[in-house]
Amino acid sequence: MIPEIGHFALILALSLAVCQSVLPMIGAQRNDAALMSIARTAAYGQFLFVAISFACLTWAFAHDDFSVLYVANHSQLSLPAGYKISAVWSAHEGSLLMWILILAAWTMAVARFTSEVPDILRSRVIGVLGFLSVGFLLFALLTSNPFERLIPAALDGADLNPLLQDPGLAIHPPLLYIGYVGFSVAFAFAIAAMIGGDLDQNWARWTRPWTVVAWLFLTLGIALGSWWAYYELGWGGWWFWDAVENASFMPWLIGTALIHSLAVTERRGLFKSWTLLLSISAFSLSLLGTFLVRSGIIVSVHAFATDPTRGFFILGFLGVVVIGALALYAWRAPSLDSNVGFSLLSRETFLLLNNVLLVVATILVLMGTLAPLVVEMLNGGKISIGPPWFEVAFMVPMIPLVLLLGLGMHTAWRKQSKDPWIRLLRTPVIVAVIIGIVLPLMFYGRVSLLLVVGCAAAAWIVISSLIQPIRSWRRKQGATAITRSALGMSIAHLGMGLFVIGVTIVSAFGVESDRAMRPGETLEVAGFAFELREVRDVQGPNYTAIEGVVEVRRDGEFIAMVRPQKRQYLVQKNWMTEAGIHPTWNKDLFIALGDQLGNDTWSVRIQYKPMISFIWIGCFIMALGGLVTVSDRRYRKSAS
């Protein structure tokens, strides 16, 4: 019964979404207040019914209702209760439902927190969001109904994919989706502005906080996914340039450009066509990401659905949304663009470069992701582009971006006079270069060009993002304090600097060693002694495991006891690696237990990962910067 209620609620939500997408649009066109007021009500109602539907599916999982096909395929009686809940979004149907729920939640938030926005603009924004809801609800109801019954019911489920039985992966998709879907708000604002033919600095002020919040969730989601891959997949890498990772990374890059472009539109009324185009692209890439993951045209470790009807549906929807939006852009953007001059040395120039470099980076990633498809079309062969290509190609726009970042932050809007600028930045530049050379030499005893560039760039970003906050903190009484939004920018850039340090050091000085070991043997890696004390059997709630007990010493001194496991899940019989990691702030010692090679001999992978935690700490601080930015007074005013 409950699953049928969920299905029915989803159909009701679709009807409301149709109202939400059509009526307010007509109202805005005719300036009819009654029709426009439907926008809010319909948005609240749609959210309510989607939430009911989602709750019903969750109920089915929590109560092990194996008469529901989706539940029977992705859960199991002995699965720990927490994972029964996260299993709701572990596969296609459920994660689509979650996508719809999050879209409805964003729409409701837009309806609630835009009292300052004129009725016409708000109605159009909610109308566009309603159109997106219609598309996804139809997608769910027509091709991927999560409430489909299985008759007769299964006695027990097929279990959740063991890879996904992990707290990191339980919250990774929701965060990622909040980010992905959040870009729909900027998209809706862009479409609404183009329909209305009116885009001013207020528009940018209203759009910006929504975009920053979406971006910060996406940042957290990607970072968490990368962290999960690091400790769960057992390879010790943190980014694989896998198609699905790229699918989340491209909207992030464009979203980052969008945030910067919006800053220019808000402060100076410039870059309007950039901002519009980036708003459209960020969301289109989110849709493309969904398409790539859902359609199975690119197979990867992550892809979990291969069904051509679904692919065609998403592609059709993507086509309508993107072509429609870009046609509107080609028609309306020329009249919206304004030409106010700015001099060559000004913040505008740096932000323009920022936009261009981030777009170039996105195009490179997109090319790398789609190249296999294109080559297949041209000569019928199938190819795959590996990480080496991405690593080199991605550096090309990233190195200048990172170097220009610190300069741009300290450049005035409109026109910056040269001498004070050089005086301000001379010392930080010199200090950064010195740090870039000394830091690797002192701590790791080796230096190369790429290392110096990486370390100096990181030091440069860290120093230059600290200048302003420190000045503000030491300012004389009465001088103006730094605004929250400027502070947020500094914090986010600081995070970027820490991220660059982490990436540079770990790729230069990480050590990997794979050996066969017997209990009692000791292996020396990067100055640490790893002694395999014993290998024993362990029993978990729904798995059995073989656990290696490894004692780590340095110069004879005990450092840690690390316990890597190999787990066999009882239902699906897969072996999973559960790496043992001893994390400290400046290094991780990573141990993964491999196969049994013979009597009492085990393959063991030991890795020394210096500064790797900075990669995720950096991302977290970037997201924190976003949070500080949206708490700025001028956005709070618009929210209340």
Q: Which residues bind another protein (CB under 8 A)?
A: 233-235, 237, 240, 273, 277, 280-281, 284, 291, 295-299, 301, 306, 308, 311-312, 315, 318-319, 322-323, 326-327, 329-330, 333-334, 370, 372-374, 376-377, 379-384, 386-388, 513-515, 572-575, 594-595, 597, 603
Give the nearest distance from C-beta 541 to another protein in angstroms: 21
Please tell me the distance from the alpha carbon of residue 532 to that of residue 511, in angstroms, as a whole number: 19
Please tell me the distance from the alpha carbon of residue 388 to that of residue 404, in angstroms, as a whole number: 25
Burial label for 637, CB within 10 Å (0-12, 13-18, 19+), is: exposed
Give the nearest distance from C-beta 373 to another protein in angstroms: 4
Give the nearest distance from C-beta 576 to another protein in angstroms: 10
Q: And the tokens for 48?
A: 């309510």
Give the nearest distance from C-beta 598 to another protein in angstroms: 8
Give the nearest distance from C-beta 318 to another protein in angstroms: 8
Q: Is cis: bond before 152, omega within 30 of 0?
A: yes
Give the nearest distance from C-beta 603 to another protein in angstroms: 7
| Beta partners for residue 606, in sequence order | 513, 591
Give the nearest distance from C-beta 316 to another protein in angstroms: 10
Show the DSSP H helices in 298-386 as ranges: 308-336, 347-379
Q: Which is nearer to another protein, 31 or 574 (CB)?
A: 574
Residue 308: which residues within 8 A CB-CB, separation 6 or more?
Answer: 295
Q: Which is nearer to another protein, 73 or 281 (CB)?
A: 281
Contact 470, 446 (CB under 8 A): no
Q: Which is nearer to another protein, 480 or 599 (CB)?
A: 599
- CA-nearest of 72, 75, 70 to 53 is 70
Give the nearest distance from C-beta 312 to another protein in angstroms: 6
Burial label for 304, CB within 10 Å (0-12, 13-18, 19+), is: middle
Between β-strands 557-562 and 565-569, what pairing exists: parallel, antiparallel or unpaired? Answer: unpaired
Q: How far is CA 487 from CA 112, 415, 468, 472, 474, in A?
A: 27, 22, 8, 10, 14
Q: Which amino acid is at 465?
A: S
Give the nearest distance from C-beta 542 to another protein in angstroms: 16
* Residue 634, CA atoms < 13 Å, CB-side half-sphere: 16
Q: Which is nearer to another protein, 46 or 226 (CB)?
A: 226
Q: How many residues does the chain have?
A: 640
Show the DSSP H helices in 113-242 as ranges: 119-143, 167-196, 201-232
Give the nearest distance from C-beta 287 to another protein in angstroms: 11
Contact 481, 472 (CB under 8 A): yes
Q: Which is nearer to another protein, 82 or 386 (CB)?
A: 386
Q: Which is nearer to another protein, 53 or 279 (CB)?
A: 279
Q: Which is nearer to another protein, 77 or 323 (CB)?
A: 323
- SS3 sequence, 85-100? HHHHHCCHHHHHHHHH
Give the nearest distance from C-beta 179 to another protein in angstroms: 22
Q: Which residue is associated with the tokens 């300036």?
A: 31
In degrees, rounded to 5, the angle at the alpha carbon of residue 90 between the alpha carbons of residues 85 and 92 is: 130
- Tell me 78's DSSP state: T
Please tell me the distance from the alpha carbon of residue 40 to that of residue 123, in angstroms, as a whole number: 8
Phi-psi category of 591—alpha, beta or left, where left has phi over 0 and alpha has psi -120 to 50?
beta
Q: Which is nearer to another protein, 270 or 617 (CB)?
A: 270
Please tell me the distance from the alpha carbon of residue 160 to that of residue 73, in angstroms, as a whole number: 8
- CA-nearest of 86, 108, 106, 11 to 52 is 11
Please tell me the distance from the alpha carbon of residue 201 to that of residue 199, in angstroms, as a whole number: 7
* Residue 292, CA atoms < 13 Å, CB-side half-sphere: 25
Give the nearest distance from C-beta 161 to another protein in angstroms: 11
Give the nearest distance from C-beta 114 to another protein in angstroms: 28
Give the nearest distance from C-beta 247 to another protein in angstroms: 13
Contact 16, 47 (CB under 8 A): no
* Residue 548, CA atoms < 13 Å, CB-side half-sphere: 35
Q: Which is nearer to another protein, 341 or 381 (CB)?
A: 381
Please tell me the distance from the alpha carbon of residue 508 to that of residue 514, in angstroms, as a whole number: 18
Q: Which is nearer to another protein, 4 or 391 (CB)?
A: 391
Q: Which is nearer to another protein, 32 or 242 (CB)?
A: 242
Q: Which is nearer to another protein, 90 or 295 (CB)?
A: 295
Give the nearest distance from C-beta 377 to another protein in angstroms: 5
Give the nearest distance from C-beta 483 to another protein in angstroms: 34
Q: Which is nearer to another protein, 371 or 433 (CB)?
A: 371
Q: Which is nearer to another protein, 128 or 333 (CB)?
A: 333
Q: Which is nearer to another protein, 222 or 333 (CB)?
A: 333
Q: How far is CA 94 from CA 108, 145, 318, in A?
A: 21, 9, 20
Q: Which is nearer to another protein, 162 or 397 (CB)?
A: 162
- The kind and range of the H/E element at 610 are strand 601-610
Show the DSSP H helices in 233-346 as ranges: 243-268, 272-295, 308-336
* Residue 261, CA atoms < 13 Å, CB-side half-sphere: 27
